[in-house]
Structure 1
Amino acid sequence: MHCSSLAATRAAFAAHHRYLVRYGLRTFSTTVAAMQLSSAATAAAAASSSTPSSSDGRKVLTVDTMNQHIRTMEYAVRGAIPIRADELREQLKSSPNSLPFKQITACNIGNPQQLAQKPITFLRQVSALMEYADLLGPEMIETTRKLFPEDAIERARRNLSYVGNAAGAYTHSLGIHEVRQNVARFIEERDGFPASADNICLTTGASGAVERVLDMLVSSPNVGIMIPIPQYPLYTATLARLNAQAVPYYLQEENDWQLSMSDLERALSEARANGTDVRALVVINPGNPTGGCLLSSNISEIVRFCEKHRLVILADEVYQTNIYTGTNPFVSFKQVVAQMQSEVELFSFHSISKGMIGECGRRGGYYEAVNIDQAVMAQMLKLASVSLCPNVQGQMAVDTMVNPPKKGDPSYAQYAAEIDAIFQSMRRRAKRLATAFDSLPNMSCNSAQGAMYVFPRVTLPQQFVDEARAKGVEPDSLYCMQMLEATGISVVPGSGFGQVPGTFHFRSTFLPPEELFDDFIDGFKRFHMGLLARYSPKI
């Protein structure tokens, strides 16, 4: 490796590391990555001062020759603590009594079915019939009717007709037109304003939609995207990969995680004064990791802010049906933009992974584009075409989400009962977990107004903080790692999402099965109180 390349690599990592520390985004895995980068780069420099060739027996693609922007990516939701959780899970399989707990409780990611949330029957029935279409043929249809309700049979037939009667076939790059029409009707019914299938693109999960829009926005390393702190790390990870600038603004923990207009103005003015071309504002509503839900009045302020400063709005609304309070109902950005007759440019995102559907692995989502230049829409079609088409079963699950069985349909009663049971249980668990965390010493927790998470704040003893710093680890990362190794509970440290400097948090889902909640909460309490007793005996 040339000395200049080594210096550039180290400088790039150092700049990224300073950014992570400044905004509280540094994680345990960041420290590991720094160590790996330093040792690999040093070894490469010692081995050779010239570029390797294919004839000298060395690899062309190495961690030093790869895209360095990927090396600087961090994604705490699947970072060091979940990796350690996987190791402990394997240890329990081979030696069940070797740890002080019997199972890993994966509260690090919103993955409902991993934690035993029951799949929606109608969706799975339609999927099964589409996958094995022989069940719909004349030789088997009478047997099929004994096993499946008539509306599931008809839905499967209709869906197969959209794809040439083969669920494994490509679709239109934007997704099946009829499904996009159903999405448009869903949006119209939700908001009371028109929507068009031409402005909707089905995607491989909402994450794929977000990445595609960011691909369009980022045209140079100088482009900046405003992101909330705390944020879902998809955004910082994607911006790192694109070599773009994250422009953080802080959510107001003391005000149920609403947005502060003064802090938005501060963040924007500082970034533009430094020469950053700030083009868009990301809003996650309901919030991940916070569980907060924005008031309509706050959304109106945000729209005016983006009009004033010529910013595109990226509205991540994948938790829109996960609302647990009457004080903060979900209001879409599309609805507010339409009510205000605003011309602000808007992309909004939705997904089958969350809500009561919980079909994370099927990878279905969509974005709606509002007030976007038609020439740009043509370019977005081209970008979609490169990936050929979204996952077909994901598209069909989106169709079920936006067009479920209606009253009078054979499957309606069961569908409605299953959705309501999941929702009521989630609401109970959200309240129980927030209350449990908020009742502990050295901890405070806002209620979960929406989404699948709580984001409690932990006041850690100074001696513990000092020990973590001495190890080169963020204190909340060490806290979460010790929690995992003592209880089997896997959560994500707040430093993986960003937080106000000097504060410590962690994100936990409230997805463990309700019948296991007592053990889950008790295990956490024992760990927390034990840690405080070791470092603060008087508590």
Structure 2
Amino acid sequence: MSQIKLISRASRVLSGAAVRSELSEAVSVQSQPRHTTIRTMASTQNKTLTLETLNPNIKKLEYAVRGPLVARAGEIEKELEKGAQKPFKRVIKANIGDAHAMGQQPITFIRQVLACVVQPELIKTDQFPADVKQRAQAILDACGGSSVGSYTMSHGIELIRRHVAEYIERRDGHGARWQDIVLTGGASNGIKNCLQLLCNQVGGKDSGVLIPIPQYPLYSASLAEYGLAQVGYYLDEDANWALDVAELERAYSEGSRHHAVRAIVVINPGNPTGQVLTRANIEGIIKFAHKHSLFVFADEVYQDNVYDKDSKFFSFKKVMTEMGAPYNTVELASFMSISKGYMGECGLRGGWMELCNLDPDVQANLYKAISAMLCPTTLGQTAVDCVARPPVAGEPSYELWLKEKTAVLQSLDKRAKMIVDTFNSMEGFSCNVVQGAMYAFPSIHLPPKAIEAAKAANQLPDVFYAFKLLEETGICVVPGSGFGQRPGTYHFRTTILPQPQLLQEMLDIFQAFHQKFTKEYA
């Protein structure tokens, strides 16, 4: 095996034992004489990095959607490949919002534009519609050397930033400055870039950030990584995960005792909870943020994913603008991604953030910090352009684009209802309506004997349940404790992404497992 392949394998992002196993395998298959010396040296000299000298923030960091349960799911998949006998034939990964991995087909228009920018000779053929070729050529013209293999500006290609600003103007009915748009490697990179701005003491206190509970673990993991304090505010499960301003005040007051609370994160539509905030709710949050001079992180990556007929997506930018003075001066960063919505292009790593009302010097320093990372991927930026500037009526690609987009969203709507109806029919389950996003977060009542068994196994009760589910059925979900939940309650997050036939199979298996589990621990 070549050195390059070994280095590539050893550097894959794996967790825990998987990393040690991969590195061990990489070393063991290399030529014996040369690497015996390396192993001997490693065993006789002190390591520069040990668990004692490792950055303590990295040790605190946890990311539930790719945690131990998911690692075990990967092991089970390999066991099945080797012929292991299990009571199931495959692992169903309902743990992460990866649409294409669960069978969603790419949007043709996006992939055709990508094909043309990667292989420009295709633009000269008659294989693709005229609007596809025009979009691809415009992007290539904006790239150095007319190649997507070149670096771009750190904030992204200006042409695409302008198209994103135009998208926001169409969406909100208000102006947007392209200079305030930053293209990112998925929304996550933009969120982390902005969180880093808060890494400082204010008034002798470390900075804290208000985040929803339940929350998307990117936030708790990033706060731990940067040494920022997590100040949780609870969403109201009984009111379909609504956000209560009185609860925000409680969390802010308690958090301010020990930390300088400087920002609030709002996820709308919600992950993992699937709610869509009302306009009145958003207005209340903006007033709260203005009152306490908080920087607002508006995570709006699921803005296309609204299923409930009585719900509607309103961007924080739109509501804030229409509220007028003094609320239209709140510092705001809003985030969008190509990984969700109807696109599901997770692996391309494309997204954007819009910055509103930042101090110009702060924004300049943020752009400086972003420049150190060179630029987001040009293919991700290309997909962003396709989302921000989709085909319009009269263009050759419009009819197919609209058909595919509509089919994806209607299917997700159907699957959201399937999941909610099934869980609410199961003993001990309660599941709120999935108004939007891609997940359900049902509450589950666990019998006392199951809780005792979990303690004996040195596991949290919802983790115990999820591991039993995985080992006995091959279904991988994420325990609610990985997202945060009110003490004494138990949940798990499942995606609605398995295609309808597989989802029905998963739900049937889930029901049978839960009946068996309930009987076993009754």
Q: Which residue of 1 aligns with 2:155?
A: 174
User: How far apart are residue 55 of structure 1 and its match?
Assistant: 11
Number of the residue aligned with 1:58 = 46
Aligned to 1:84, which of 72, 77, 87? 72
The residue that corresponds to 1:314 in the other structure is: 297
CA distance in 2, matches of 1:216, 1:450: 30
What is the aligned partner in structure 1 of residue 499 from structure 2?
A: 513
CA distance in 2, matches of 1:66, 1:133: 47
Residues 108-119 of structure 1: pairs in structure 2 closer than 5 A: 108-119=95-106
Task: Check the 8 A contact 1:491/1:506 in 2, yes or no.
Answer: yes
Distance 1:451 1:304 in 2: 25
Q: 1:100 aligns with which of 84, 87, 90?
A: 87
SS in 2 for 1:472: coil
Q: How far apart, in 1, do the equivalents of 2:456 and 2:504 lie?
A: 35
Contact 1:54 1:60 in 2 (8 A): no
- The answer to whether the aligner puts 1:400 opposite 2:381 as a matched pair is no
Within 5 Å, give how 1:134-145 maps onto structure 2. 134-136=121-123, 141=124, 144-145=125-126
Shift of 1:57: 1.4
Alignment of 1:291-306 (within 5 A): 291-306=274-289
From 227, 230, 234, the equivalent of 2:218 is 234
Provide the rounded CA distance (Å) in 1 between the counterparts of 2:182 and 2:503: 39
Residue 285 of structure 1 pairs with residue 268 of structure 2: yes
Distance 2:368 2:299 in 1: 23
Cα deviation per residue 1:316-373 (whole Å; 9 max; x = unaligned)?
Answer: 0000000001212111100110011221111100000000000000000111111111
Q: What is the aligned counterpart of 2:455 among 460, 464, 469?
A: 469
Q: How many angstroms apart in 2 are the aligned matches of 1:224 and 1:520?
A: 40
Matches within 5 A, 1:379-528: 379-528=365-514
* CA displacement at 1:402 relative to structure 2: 1.1
Report the Cα distance in structure 2 between the residues aligned to 1:297 and 1:129, rounded to whole angstroms: 44
Q: Tell me the SS of whatever aligns to 1:225.
A: strand
Q: CA deviation at 1:62?
A: 2.3
Shift of 1:130: 1.0
Deviation at 1:315, TM superposition (A): 0.5
What displacement does 1:56 show? Answer: 5.7
Within the candidate set 107, 127, 130, 1:150 is matched to 130
Q: 2:347 aligns with which of 361, 386, 391?
A: 361
Instruction: State the alpha-carbon separation in 2 of the partners of residues 54 and 535 from structure 1.
Output: 49
Instruction: Give the drift of 1:134.
Output: 2.7
* Structure 1 residue 223 corresponds to structure 2 residue 204: no
By how many angstroms is 1:278 displaced? Answer: 0.3
Shift of 1:125: 0.8
Q: Deviations over 1:248-267 (max 9, x none)?
A: 00000000111111111111
CA distance in 2, matches of 1:102, 1:266: 48
Match 1:75 to one of 63, 86, 99: 63
The 5 Å alignment of 1:242-253 reads 242-253=226-237
Counterpart of 1:36? none
Give the match for residue 337 of structure 1: 320
Instruction: Establish whether residue 533 from structure 1 lines up as the match of residue 519 from structure 2.
Output: yes
Taking the aligned partners of 1:301 and 1:522, their CA distance within structure 2 comes to 41
Q: Over aligned residue pairs, what C-alpha RMSD do you find?
A: 1.6
Equivalent position amino acid for 2:305 in 1 = N
Report the Cα distance in structure 1 between the residues aligned to 2:333 and 2:296, rounded to whole angstroms. Answer: 6
Shift of the alpha carbon at 1:409?
0.8
Percent same amino acid at aligned positions?
46
Amino acid at match of 1:336: V
Specify the code of the residue in structure 2 equivalent to 1:308: K
Distance verdict in 2 for CA 1:460–1:55, change over 3 Å: closer
**Structure 1 unaligned residues grouped into runs of 5+:** 1-28, 31-52
Which one-letter code corresponds to 2:170 in the other structure? E
Which ranges in structure 2 are unaligned for 5 or more consecutive residues?
1-14, 17-40
Is the CA contact 1:76–1:496 (under 8 Å) kept in the aligned structure 2? yes
Q: Deviations over 1:199-251 (max 9, x none)?
A: 11000100000000000122147100000000000001001011110000000
Structure 2: how far apart are the matches of 1:157 and 1:376? 35
Q: How many pairs are equivalent? A: 478
Tell me how far 1:302 sits from its aligned partner: 0.5
1:54: Cα distance to partner?
A: 9.8
Runs of 4+ in 1 over 3 A off after TM superposition: 53-56
Which residue type is aligned with residue 445 of structure 2?
T
Match of 1:163 among 139, 143, 150: 143
For 2:320 and 2:122, how far apart are their aligned partners in 1? 46
Q: Could you tell me how far apart the structure 2 residues matched to 1:319 and 1:135 are?
A: 33
**CA displacement at 1:107 relative to structure 2:** 0.5
Structure 1 distance, partners of 2:228, 2:503, is 42
Whether the aligned pair in 2 keeps the contact of 1:480 and 1:492 (CA below 8 Å) is yes
